[in-house]
Structure 1
Amino acid sequence: MAKYTPMMEQYLAIKDQHQDAFLFFRLGDFYELFFDDAINAARELEITLTGREGGAEERIPMCGVPHHSVDAYIAQLIEKGYKVAICEQVEDPKQAKGVVKREVTRIITPGTVMEGKFLTDKENNYLVAVYHERNSFALAACDISTGEFYVTEMNGISSLLDEIVQYHPSEVIELQPESGSFVSESLAPYSIVVTSRGVPRIDAVVSPDMQLGDLFSEVSGAKTCTWTMLTAAVGLITYLKETQKRTLGHLHRVELYESASYMVLDQFTRRNLELVETIRDKSKKGSLLWLLDQTATAMGARQLRRWIDKPLLNKQDIERRQEAVQALIDNWLAREEIRTRLKDVYDLERLAGRIAYGTASARDLIQLKSSLLAVPALQNILREMQGAATALQELEAKLDACPDIVEMIESGIVDDPPLVMKDGGLIKEGYNAYLDQLRMASREGKQWIASLEKREREATGIRSLKVGYNKVFGYYIEVTKSNLTALPEGRYERKQTLANAERYITPELKEKEALILEADEKRIELEYQLFVEIREKIAGQVKRVQDIAMQVATLDVLQSLATIAQERSYVKPQIATSGSLIIADGRHPVVESVLQHESFVPNDTHLSSETQQMMLITGPNMAGKSTYMRQVALIIIMAQLGSFVPAQSAHVTPVDRIFTRIGAADDLVGGQSTFMVEMKEIEITLRNANARSLVIIDELGRGTSTSEGMSIAQAVIEYLHHDIGCKTLVSTHYHELSHLEASLPRLKNFHMAVNESDDTVIFLRKLIEGPADKSYGIYCAQIAGLPSSVIERANRLLDEYEGQMNQKVPSEIAGQEILSVATVDEPLQLDMFGTTVSTIVKKESKLTGPEAKAVKKLREADLINMTPLEAMNLLFELKQHIGKE
């Protein structure tokens, strides 16, 4: 085995404890990486790979970055999903005997970043821990930068995955039992770092009867904490303590919640409805969040996103928010004043986190003071509002201006502190008497030095003589070499030689230098010490700051919803506990907002579990079917998060889940085609939907042959109608499915109106009752710009196909002749343009019950006047009764 130097042996021993992280090893003014870390970091960071002698026979690969710019490099690695262990010198090199002592002071992972440069202001950065025991799955989620901590429990892996997706976590800790992984493979399609950890021994941590109250000073929520939930919470806190290596005083509150208390939105629904980002370019612009975000603070923007992620189910909770929004609409002058005041409030959640964490700067404290000074004005505005809602009154009562914290900062911290705290200039004059003495000594010494240059020039007659200072050599007198003969002998001591000058020091300058540097060193050290004392005092009050942040964020979201409602003429939806969904003149909120040269065409919606459970919508592409269905879902989500909605009126019964099958997308990484992705979405819908859900299906079954696609579509529709009974919107190009209205009593046909005149087609985007008879696909191809020869050929082929489709069934296979064929053991063959549909019907004499009724229906059918597709639908229906092909 190669023999390494003591320093390299120290590095290897520390690296051995952190195999899954890049080890940034502090050497003087640089952080160095060695061996494989160096090779990989050089590639990922695009920095130079070098080498050094480490006592071994071969050179050790090495690369490094300056300590003052290390954050930028760490950010690049974290963004790519890596972990970074920071190894610092924890011993003064001057006092070290041998190798300087070093320790890992913090491990930075995608889910544990605290610094603002690593974070997005308007988004949370959640770290999630998951654990399961039997069929119980628990989830603990924390944003260490804001102090939020949530715990919940559910049954089934699919429910757990839906809950994980709602948090958009950057890292998931899988508390992995001996049986192995249970979420890693499921999260593979997402850009989420998954870290496997052993299950924590709770009884070894505290006691067998440990509760969350042993970990947090405040436990809220209606849900009772189970052992599974406790394990997830302990596992997450253990991971945080191991990586952060410090107290986490700002994690004092935990919320236990029932996942069933909120609407569940799975990954497909979030993508298809573009709730927080668009499908095309993954940007916020064009999403529902983009439209509703009129917040004035970063914490308000994060709160709005949380509300969109988790719409409410409880009628009273929804109406409580609505009442507050209405009050802010009615008092628009007060609302505008609130918006103005909120602009003076910084990100209190993350400020509180950095203060408790011990990384807040003097500028952070000034931002905290400025934010707190805005609170009394907000309290006064809310107090004086006419007809203020109960929620706003309670919010005003919970606001705390924290005058003691303001006074602490005001008396101690300068109004414009420097960016670099190690250079001093943080503490106000008069705050500390000894500090003022040190400042006086430093100023007087520097004044003496400032006058020294004039005195030395007069004494030597050298007009170019100057007095200067640098951090390495201290103060000096500089004389050009052409003037050296003018210097008196014995008084000047050479300090440094330059190309064209010599630098000297005198006994008087050396004495003053010692006094000044000693005073400056003590001053800077004392200033930082006083600043830390102030920061620690405020850290003891961080819970109050977090409480203010929570109230301010809620007020910000409410005013944002009120602002957008008034600007866009939204109405307050009526919330019911059960019953129908009735929307008059509903509009798609986002599409409406981006239209510039035309007005949005509104449409009605009426869905009822008793009378009109399903709407089957036919019509051409570009006519607005998908937009209409999306707008219904978005209106429901907006209503349940407490927002007003784009409609003339709305009566909304909260839905527990929304399922969508909209659009086409391959999952190339997962090896799934468009059709397979579609079928997977349908499988999730049929497995999880219930009578309280809303299901939206756009162009079901279009990824396969016409006969198979139509068969799947009809089977799915019938299952939703008969077995689930949920409110459903289905759009299709299979006009033949419109016959289902006759057999499904709660299904009604609708179509998007089209005005056709000569060669002109106008899509009216108006939903009207009844089925469509054309798809206008060739017209869409024409306006898309396909060559005219292709369009002409397509029209000719269409005429030929439609002629064949309208042919009558030949008389030789009609009436009794079909029955005569059906009464033998041979299969009945109907050849329709190359598609053979066959059915086996047993001898009529042996048939009873549903089978006999099926043959009777076949006997009575008007086969002579039936088109082949109508005959095919009849055979599909017979197949359901007879159970044979």
Structure 2
Amino acid sequence: AAAIHGLGLALLDLATGEFVVEEFKSQEKLDEALERYRPAETLAETDDNRWTFSLDAATEALTRHFKVLSLDGFGLAGKGDLVSAAGALLYYVGTTLRHSLAHVRKVAIRSSDDVLVLDSGTLRHLQLVPGGEVSKEASLLGVLDVTKTPMGARTLRNWICRPLARAADVNARLDRVQAFVDDRGRLASLRNLLSGVRDLERLIQKVDSLRANPRDLKALADSLRPIPDILSLLNPGSYPLTPRPETVSLIDRAIADDPPVMLVDGGFIAPGYNAELDELRQIAHEGHRWLAEYQAKEQARTGIAKLKVKHVSTFGFVIEIPKGSVAMAPADYIRRQTLTTGERFTTPELKEYETKVLGAQEKSVAIEQRLFRDILGEIAAKTVEIQETALALGELDATLALADRALAAGYARPVVDDSDVLEIVDGRHPIIEQLPDAEPFVPNSAFLNTTTDQIMLITGPNMAGKSTYIRQVATIAVMAQMGSFVPASSMRIGVLDRVFTRIGAGDDLARGRSTFLVEMQETANILNNATPKSLIVLDEIGRGTSTFDGISIAWSVAEYLHGKAQAKAKTLFATHYHELTDLADTFKGVKNFTVKVKEEGGRVVFLRRIAPGIAEKSFGIHVGAMAGLPKEVVDRAAQILKNLEANELDVNAPQKVVRRPRRKLSEMPGQMTFF
């Protein structure tokens, strides 16, 4: 859930008890954060709940819950917006939803300055995590997630969505990954130990809120059991894991093997844990022997060989006599039920024993339930320490997963610093290269900075690989800053603050926005928020309108990014507008690149190789033929293209209409005067 007030945001994960607050400089940044977090429920201020957002009420809610005199210890002094959001949210969850908050032990401040900002569009365009039409297998998360625990999987997803933005932090995480890459034996041993760990975060939360069942406790013990062995394989202090042998021992002693889920019928407390319970169980156990002896005695006394003593749910213990032998029942037998096959009876002796046995069973169940509550309380007292251990296990698991993938996929460690350079040598797209039916992936390099190589202008036909390449560069940058090794021979990156993507568009019918309007709004967002530390990926800017309008806008966008000091971001610009290649003649930071293609026997072969230069042809007609257009259409298109290239338009052959000649953009006076 999230609560918004002013420019503060509070978020609470009810499953794990994680409670964080974050401050923003603008409404736009706050909206982007909400898009990233996608809370299940959002709390808004209304006339009915406005008082809960007041600073006094929020402070009271927080200090009362955390049992502190002030919020200074959480770093919230003077941060009224954060306090208001956090207090209102805590009050809502505890009072309105009536959800237990015992496992919420602290509130932490999170800073956007510490992370590489990825908006929802970038997450979607780069297929970083599953969502919408993107399956897990087709996402970066699907490639990297070989974690062994649920905590590790959640941690890895968070690292992908919130990469680091400080070089020191990135390198510290890379150092941890490197340590396991360099020691494969230790890597394998630790991953094997983690394979038996369950969802420790959620298990301890259930214990703390007294909602855990006996099987949850067994899972908790199994998850804590390997921690001493894990610690023995780690450098001291590298991960804050705390062994809890007393908790494991308590559960092993107290909870039976393979216990039932429900508490109502007992049977979940282990033998030997409680003497009184053992005595009551012995009475119930001996009851089976007593009933067998009683049945034999009554068979001998009555002479009825088929007499049975059994327990039925509606009458308790009964003596059952077949119909043909009912007349032989003794006078002290008390009839309880008539059946089609016979009669059921009881006796004073049997009723007395029934009272004794059933009383013991009821009492034993009550004792088991009391003992279980006591056990939960004892373990819950260690909630904070176990939560910290669960978080550390998640980080360890995610780190091990990155090391495992680096080795399996041949990734290299990136050099991360504070320069303005983005250099990738022989980079590969991490998702495409691991697809089961994919062709051998052709690696490509990239070099960008904010001066001489700021904008890579990439031309080439459809299907040649332009879009894959620009996504690839951005995805590798994200991988580097999340602390992962990367699919490349080598890489150097000066830390980025944001990655922007403008790739494709569709009508937003629900909000009445056309394809082109969506495209322009997304482009405006990029131009208004990009900095020299940003990376921008632009694919076919201007294609949603007329050709001349599109060229004009695309040219102007490139000019702006090159000339504006505050927006001088490293940019990958893929386009079909060959006119834009003239930009490289005017601006030193613009470099032309193309995707290499060759023709063989009338066929087009896409080489997938990015190289300096300009695309010679668009090959659109060839692509249409490959897509299955009728031959008649393809041949006619080729004829029209030939005439257009000769400045003639063949409308109804043999008549030809001559077009007015147009000059190249580079020949025109002024940078923006096209026609």
- 1:509 matches 2:338: no
Kept in 1, the 8 Å contact 2:625–2:634? The answer is yes
Aligned equivalent of 2:178: 326
Normalising by structure 2, we get a TM-score of 0.93
Aligned equivalent of 1:166: 36
Aligned equivalent of 1:523: 364
Aligned equivalent of 2:231: 379
Higher mean alpha-carbon deviation, 605-614 vs 416-425, is at 416-425
RMSD: 2.7
Aligned equivalent of 1:262: 115
Higher mean alpha-carbon deviation, 785-794 vs 869-878, is at 869-878
In structure 2, distance between residues paired with 1:250 and 1:682: 44
Aligned equivalent of 1:100: none
In structure 2, distance between residues paired with 1:220 and 1:265: 31
Structure 2 counterpart of 1:230, from 65, 83, 90: 83
**Pairwise mapping of residues 366-765 of structure 1 onto structure 2 (< 5 A)?**
366-383=218-235, 393-396=236-239, 398-489=240-331, 491-594=332-435, 596=437, 598-723=439-564, 724-765=567-608
CA spacing shift, 1:674–1:556, aligned 2, 3 Å:
same
Per-residue deviation, 1:367: 1.3
Per-residue deviation, 1:209: 11
Per-residue deviation, 1:221: 8.2
Kept in 2, the 8 Å contact 1:658–1:694? The answer is yes
Q: Which residue identity is paired with 2:290?
A: W
CA spacing shift, 1:524–1:163, aligned 2, 3 Å:
same
Q: Which residue identity is paired with 2:472?
A: Q
Aligned equivalent of 1:131: 5
Per-residue deviation, 1:146: 1.2
Q: Which residue identity is paired with 2:662?
A: P
Per-residue deviation, 1:198: 5.8
Q: Which residue identity is paired with 2:33?
A: E
Q: Which residue identity is paired with 1:175?
A: E
Per-residue deviation, 1:749: 0.8
In structure 2, distance between residues paired with 1:353 and 1:197: 30
SS of the equivalent of 1:394 reads coil
Per-residue deviation, 1:413: 1.5
Per-residue deviation, 1:832: 9.7
SS of the equivalent of 1:669 reads helix
Kept in 1, the 8 Å contact 2:504–2:539? The answer is yes
Deviation string, structure 1 residues 451-494 (Cα, Å, up to 9, x no partner)? 333333333344443333233332222334343223223x2223
Aligned equivalent of 1:874: 668
In structure 2, distance between residues paired with 1:832 and 1:541: 86
In structure 2, distance between residues paired with 1:481 and 1:365: 51
| Structure 1 gap ranges (5+) | 1-126, 179-195, 384-392, 808-830, 835-866
CA spacing shift, 1:198–1:875, aligned 2, 3 Å:
farther
In structure 2, distance between residues paired with 1:642 and 1:209: 35
- 1:780 matches 2:634: no
In structure 1, distance between residues paired with 2:344 and 2:475: 75
Kept in 2, the 8 Å contact 1:222–1:257? The answer is no
Normalising by structure 1, we get a TM-score of 0.72
Aligned equivalent of 1:848: none
Per-residue deviation, 1:500: 3.7
Determine which structure has greater relative contact order: mean sequence separation of CA pairs < 8 Å that are 6+ residues apart, divided by chain length. Answer: 2
In structure 1, distance between residues paired with 2:329 and 2:295: 14
Kept in 1, the 8 Å contact 2:53–2:84? The answer is yes
In structure 2, distance between residues paired with 1:668 and 1:616: 32
CA spacing shift, 1:221–1:208, aligned 2, 3 Å:
closer
Q: Which residue identity is paired with 1:868?
A: R
Structure 2 counterpart of 1:274, from 127, 130, 155: 127
CA spacing shift, 1:218–1:206, aligned 2, 3 Å:
closer
Aligned equivalent of 1:841: none
Structure 2 counterpart of 1:790, from 613, 633, 648: 633
Q: Which residue identity is paired with 2:647?
A: Q
In structure 1, distance between residues paired with 2:465 and 2:36: 29
- 1:175 matches 2:45: yes
Q: Which residue identity is paired with 2:193?
A: R
Higher mean alpha-carbon deviation, 736-745 vs 645-654, is at 736-745
In structure 2, distance between residues paired with 1:877 and 1:592: 41
Higher mean alpha-carbon deviation, 288-297 vs 223-232, is at 223-232
CA spacing shift, 1:464–1:771, aligned 2, 3 Å:
same
CA spacing shift, 1:426–1:219, aligned 2, 3 Å:
farther
SS of the equivalent of 1:771 reads coil
In structure 1, distance between residues paired with 2:410 and 2:176: 17
In structure 1, distance between residues paired with 2:377 and 2:62: 33
CA spacing shift, 1:154–1:215, aligned 2, 3 Å:
farther
**Pairwise mapping of residues 46-65 of structure 1 onto structure 2 (< 5 A)?**
none
Q: Which residue identity is paired with 2:11?
A: A
SS of the equivalent of 1:151 reads strand
Kept in 2, the 8 Å contact 1:212–1:225? The answer is no
In structure 1, distance between residues paired with 2:98 and 2:123: 37
Kept in 2, the 8 Å contact 1:202–1:210? The answer is no
Kept in 2, the 8 Å contact 1:278–1:285? The answer is no
In structure 2, distance between residues paired with 1:578 and 1:642: 17
Per-residue deviation, 1:227: 0.6
CA spacing shift, 1:365–1:210, aligned 2, 3 Å:
closer
SS of the equivalent of 1:639 reads helix
SS of the equivalent of 1:609 reads coil
CA spacing shift, 1:833–1:354, aligned 2, 3 Å:
farther
Aligned equivalent of 1:365: 217
In structure 2, distance between residues paired with 1:713 and 1:371: 56
Per-residue deviation, 1:138: 0.9
**Alignment length (residue pairs):** 667
Q: Which residue identity is paired with 1:277?
A: P
Q: Which residue identity is paired with 1:574?
A: V
In structure 1, distance between residues paired with 2:188 and 2:546: 58
In structure 1, distance between residues paired with 2:62 and 2:320: 75
Aligned equivalent of 2:653: none
Q: Which residue identity is paired with 1:326?
A: Q
CA spacing shift, 1:208–1:453, aligned 2, 3 Å:
closer
In structure 2, distance between residues paired with 1:289 and 1:225: 39
Structure 2 counterpart of 1:155, from 25, 37, 47: 25
Per-residue deviation, 1:238: 0.8
Kept in 2, the 8 Å contact 1:607–1:727? The answer is yes
Kept in 2, the 8 Å contact 1:580–1:608? The answer is yes
CA spacing shift, 1:212–1:469, aligned 2, 3 Å:
closer
Aligned equivalent of 2:11: 141
Per-residue deviation, 1:720: 1.6
Deviation string, structure 1 residues 509-529 (Cα, Å, up to 9, x no partner)? 211111111100000010011
CA spacing shift, 1:260–1:220, aligned 2, 3 Å:
farther
In structure 1, distance between residues paired with 2:226 and 2:488: 36
Structure 2 counterpart of 1:239, from 92, 98, 104: 92
Per-residue deviation, 1:805: 6.7
Higher mean alpha-carbon deviation, 507-516 vs 336-345, is at 507-516
Per-residue deviation, 1:251: 0.8
Deviation string, structure 1 residues 564-621 (Cα, Å, up to 9, x no partner)? 0011111111111122111111111111111546321111111110111101100011
CA spacing shift, 1:741–1:373, aligned 2, 3 Å:
same
Deviation string, structure 1 residues 806-844 (Cα, Å, up to 9, x no partner)? 99xxxxxxxxxxxxxxxxxxxxxxx9969xxxxxxxxxx
CA spacing shift, 1:285–1:511, aligned 2, 3 Å:
same
In structure 1, distance between residues paired with 2:290 and 2:115: 71
Kept in 1, the 8 Å contact 2:426–2:489? The answer is yes
Kept in 2, the 8 Å contact 1:616–1:748? The answer is yes
**Pairwise mapping of residues 17-56 of structure 1 onto structure 2 (< 5 A)?**
none
Q: Which residue identity is paired with 2:212?
A: A
Kept in 2, the 8 Å contact 1:218–1:254? The answer is no
